[in-house]
Structure 1
Amino acid sequence: MNSILGFSTVIALWPIGILFREARTQLAEQNIGTKFAVFQILLILTTLQSSIFNILASVGQLPCVPPYMYKARSQMMNNQLLIVEAFILSVLVRGAYRRRDNEPGFTLKPVAV
């Protein structure tokens, strides 16, 4: 089942590429290239990495160290790795989703009474 999930994830990247090619020209000022790249990286991290850990656990490559069995240990390793990866990705992607102001700084305009 994990192999099918990994294969379908790779196949799912194809329509995302088609959508990106069509939207690239219309949404160029919205920094769409970086946003699509982040979406693809996140899709790969969440599905393929989980499948790889599950396959390694089912084959017996991950050791069974108490208090965790091999399946629970693979899920724990995957979740810990996803937390670190998502944090790093969110720090890097902040620039893509951040809107730049025309005028720097915050100015408080007086209210007419």
Structure 2
Amino acid sequence: MTFILAILGRWGVPERFQRLVAYAGLALLCAALVAAWLWQHDRKVIAHHEEKITRQVEKKTGRASEAATEAAGNTKERVEHENERARNAASGGTDPLKSGLDCLRRAGADCPASR
């Protein structure tokens, strides 16, 4: 502290204000150090959180992609099966178009080919 007071005296700070200025400077220095530490800490916490969220999103995206692929495959198989049944029904009747459409209608409203 004596060193700081001597420097302040050389700079022309009156003796009665030297201690006040020295303590204020020290307080500002401490506040700046704490602010710098908090800034670094916040950056690390945010980066960690973003990495965690990214991993979760990638995992959910992978699962959703697998589910969509499976659902598309199931739908394609179901449509192909119903179309095959409709073709078989159409080939065996006197009115092929009516027989095929009737078969598709019986397949149910959830069948994409009957919409």
The TM tier, using the shorter chain, reads: 0.3 to 0.5
Select the structure with the greater relative contact order (CA < 8 A; seq sep ≥ 6): 1
- TM-score, normalised to structure 2, is 0.33
What is the TM-score normalised by the length of structure 1?
0.33
| Bigger Rg over Cα | 2
